[in-house]
Amino acid sequence: MATGYLSLVLHAHLPFVRHPEYPDFLEEDWLYEAISETYIPLLVAFNHLRDEGVKFRVTMSMTPPLCEMLSDALLQERYVHHLDKLCELSEKEVERTKKEAPNFHSAALMYRRHFNECRELFENTYQRNIIQGFRQLQDEGYLEIITCCATHGYLPLMSSEVAKRAQIQIARENYIKHFGRPPRGIWLAECAFNPGDDRYLREAGIQFFISDAHAILYGTPRPRRGIYAPVITPEGVAVFARDTETSEQVWSSDIGYPGDPNYREFYRDLGYDAQDEEYIKPYLHDDGVRRNVGIKYHRITGKVGLNQKEPYVPEWATERTTMHASDFLANRQAQARHLNSTLGRAPVILAPYDAELFGHWWFEGPQFLFYLFKKLYYDQDEIQPISPIDYLALHPDNQQQTPSASSWGAEGYNRVWINAQTDWIYLHQHAAERRMVELAERFPQADGLLLRALNQAARELLLAQSSDWAFIITTGTMVQYAVKRFKDHIHRFTRIYDMLIKDGQVQIDEAWLADVERKDTIFQELDYRVYHPGTVQ
């Protein structure tokens, strides 16, 4: 009998970024970097564990926008081109560092192996669609893949039941398209919950969702087992809350593991460090501006300036991951023993993180997970890795509660997404939400060109609703792009609306519509009738 359960949850998400109108687009790099630095390394770690006979269990959200991009032929082709350039550069770097910079040579060899492995897996093992790898691991029982709101829409700031329900129902159908069965759990975008939103989850057959700690701690009534057992909402959906101790231990770059001096320094990159501009130029974007290329030769070293960072030694970093995996496990064992003695039940310790922490921000993160699950399997029998769905099967008798309104953003509620910089967004978003319902009511049985226009209107609304745009504006990164994306989708939606409503006649510009369809291809399975108010039970 386990003393406690560890439920590791990785939230894999990127906003839908796809620009066929340009031959080269900077923000598409977000996806390419995540594939090379997070998603493929996670697949490699998970496959090695499986092949070694290690019984592990991970819950992983793969959001609909991410799945749509990973399965998109244009983005797959562009990633191969991106990867080919990195393989070429890493080959040159092996030769250059051997002669000119021997302190960096072992890291250069590591990058060559890594990028070539990425190309082999992406092209040959998964035929360019790495969703296959994650789906196979789910089918074999190692992963529990959960969904998210359709475009990572922030539910508490939507204007109507119909808009909220559409985000969940569209996500459900998209999950079935990619994974062959309905989802059992969901990561609500930004872990944002408002009492009553569980209704839309219940309608979609969702059995559990992830929240921040204060959703349960401040819920009604107060939780008998704190955050170490789920609660059941009035609609019968289980809620699992984030354990703050495990979050800080891994997430924090100041006191957590990623800040170790021997780990790779994220902010030193060959794209900036290469002294020969002509040498590095072919591996930058067409504008030639210095940017990260993903080859980083320095370690964190300590609290010193970037110009004082010392060479990265892969073997030292690997040694630290094994030590940190041991430390993490020891802390969970001590935590579980204490909680077990007070709760009267083996606690479930929920450890949710952005998946991109592992590999992209914390380069050694996938190695850490590999060693952690090996230690869980071979070195002890107190802590059992588990998914929330497994825990519900073991312990179906859980406290009834209405969780508090909450998110996992700063201060725990909505401020990150609605504030003085972003409040203008919601005037336009809410108007579009009302108008989409109006369109669905006016045209309940469309076909042909009208059907295409209505489906595209729904896509534009969904893309405008992404929580990423407000988050980027608030944090001050790539603000111009986020503002443009939101405005583009609202303008496209409004033009479709006017073509269908203005002067009481339907007048669709088919050439313009086809161009928009070519750009915003998300959710080809979409049926606009999900916005008909009669769909709300």
Could you give the residue numbers annotated as active site? 190, 354
Number of alpha carbons in the 13 Å side-chain half-sphere of residue 420: 0
- Partners of residue 73 on adjacent β-strands: none
**CB within 8 A of 165, min separation 6: which ones?**
200, 203, 530, 535, 536
Give the 3-state secondary structure of residue 316: helix
Tell me which H or E stretch contains 384. Answer: strand 383-385
How far is residue 121's CA from residue 369's CA, in Å, rounded to a whole number?
20
| Tokens matching residue 349 | 């310790």
DSSP H/E element including 143 = strand 143-148
Long-range (24+ apart) CB contacts under 8 A made by 317-321 are: 317/262, 317/263, 317/264, 317/363, 317/364, 317/367, 318/364, 318/367, 319/262, 320/257, 320/260, 320/262, 320/263, 320/364, 321/364, 321/367, 321/368, 321/370, 321/371
Distance between CA atoms of residues 37 and 34, nearest Å: 5
Measured distance CA(292)–CA(286) in Å, rounded? 14
H or E element in which residue 92 lies: helix 73-100
Beta strands in 237-298 (DSSP E): 238-241
